[in-house]
Amino acid sequence: MFKKLDVNFKTIAANSFAIFFGFTVWRVLFNNYGKEVFDISAYQIGIIQSVREIPGLLGFGSGMLALVLAESKIAALNIIILGGGLLMVGWAENLWMMGVGTFISSVGFHYFLSSNKSQLLNLIKRRNSGREQGKLMSIESISAVAATLAVLGLTLFLSYRVTFTIIGSAVTLFGIYFVFAIKSNRVEGERRRAIVKKKYWLYYTLAFLRGSRRHIFTTFAIFLLVANHGLSITAISTLLLINSILIIFTSRLIGNLTDSMGERFILVGTSFILFFIFLGYTYVTYLPVLIGCFILDHILFGSSIALNSYLRKISDREDLTGNLSFGLTANHISAVFIPIIGGAMWELFGYETTFLFGTVIVFLDMLFAMRINPDKFDDAQKKVSDKEIIAKT
């Protein structure tokens, strides 16, 4: 019935295109949908966003699934789950149903991430990990551009609810096709491990800190523009569209710089820039400057390429999926409380305190990124080469 497809860069990219298309539609619509349909407050935004990040907190479940299912199948199944969540968000009659639908779509998105990244990192050579991740991130940005344009076009003629229904249905159907069409990415007898190891502590720490600052950005940066400056759905959609177009090019640049300059240079450098961006959110009220901070902040999410490349160089092949899933959990530990604390700080003391909190997190992230030791990459690479020689003999 379905033509069997090999797991290669093209099929991995197709999966990413589908999941990021659906996620971007949710992201573009969520704040305006919540505000205009349900009159949602900053505190309620914080609660829903915290609930949305629970699947990320339980991201180690993806590593558990990889013990029994191939990463290619896990990725396709989670595309279906995300599509179903979008449908529920569109059909929601109250904030509770909107939150449940958001949670379901979040399960699909978060469990997809580690499985798809593992497919890619196991497929590519270590020395090219930055470049190949940059290519994939560019495709994800192209997907985001397409999704933003779709929202801009559909919302001119249709309601938010109908837009969610159309996109949710399309994403779900794509996932169903890939469940049956995609081959396993495992060779016979290949196994996965899901064990937290002390030698990966720095990766887990960086994942936690970068997740903490990301949750402040994704929860409150857009809301700042909507609530304090009155940006419409058209303005937000246009802004995200500009971001996505820029990332098509900047992600490849960041990937190439990661390969040439090293992971530590990228991670420390981006944290240094982000420190001043969060100060901008805190003290600047001039809208064009805030928009500039928002765009640059969004672009610098591409530095996750360097973190994944760092893990690729220090991790054993059988540990990779498990480490990515545990890294996802570390990334989302703060998601349970950061949006709620940030929302409460906003309501009680003003938005400035929320972004000052983010400034402190970014500074800590920079300090830990300085501890990356490139010399250990050479040792890890030598061990891998020795294993390959032994296997061949």
In this predicted model, what pLDDT tens digit does every residue of 237-269 receive, in sequence order?
Answer: 788 778 878 888 888 888 888 888 888 999 999
* Domain harbouring 115, CATH code: 1.20.1250.20
* 18-61 confidence digits (pLDDT tens): 999 999 899 888 877 887 877 777 777 778 877 777 777 676 66
Q: Find the range with the poorest average confidence among 5-14, 342-351, 364-373.
A: 5-14
* 226 occurs within a structural domain: yes
Scanning the structure block, which residue is given the tokens 């491990």? 193
* 153-201 confidence digits (pLDDT tens): 888 888 888 899 999 999 999 888 888 877 665 555 555 555 667 778 8
* 1 occurs within a structural domain: no
User: Are the C-beta atoms of 83 and 176 separated by less than 8 Å?
Assistant: no
* 2 occurs within a structural domain: no
Domain count, the chain: 1
* 212 occurs within a structural domain: yes
* 191 occurs within a structural domain: no
Contacts of 365 (CB under 8 A, 6+ apart): 206, 209, 210, 213, 267, 271
Q: Which pLDDT score, from 0 to 100, does residue 99 have? A: 86
* 114 occurs within a structural domain: yes
* 253 occurs within a structural domain: yes
CA 195 – CA 193 distance, rounded (Å):
6
Q: CA distances (Å), 128 to each of 48, 72, 125, 203, 306, in order?
A: 38, 21, 5, 19, 12
* 327 occurs within a structural domain: yes
From 21, 18, 34, select the one nearest 233 (Cα to Cα).
34
Q: Which pLDDT score, from 0 to 100, does residue 390 have? A: 41
CA 360 – CA 133 distance, rounded (Å):
29
159 sits in the region (left: phi over 0; alpha: psi -120 to 50; else beta) called beta
Q: Which pLDDT score, from 0 to 100, does residue 4 have? A: 65
pTM, whole model, 2 decimals? 0.73
Q: Dihedral sign for Cα 225, 347, 161, 19, please.
A: positive
Q: Please give the residue range of the domain that contains residue 76.
A: 9-186+197-387
Q: Which residues does residue 5 pair with via DSSP β-bridges, in sequence order?
A: 182
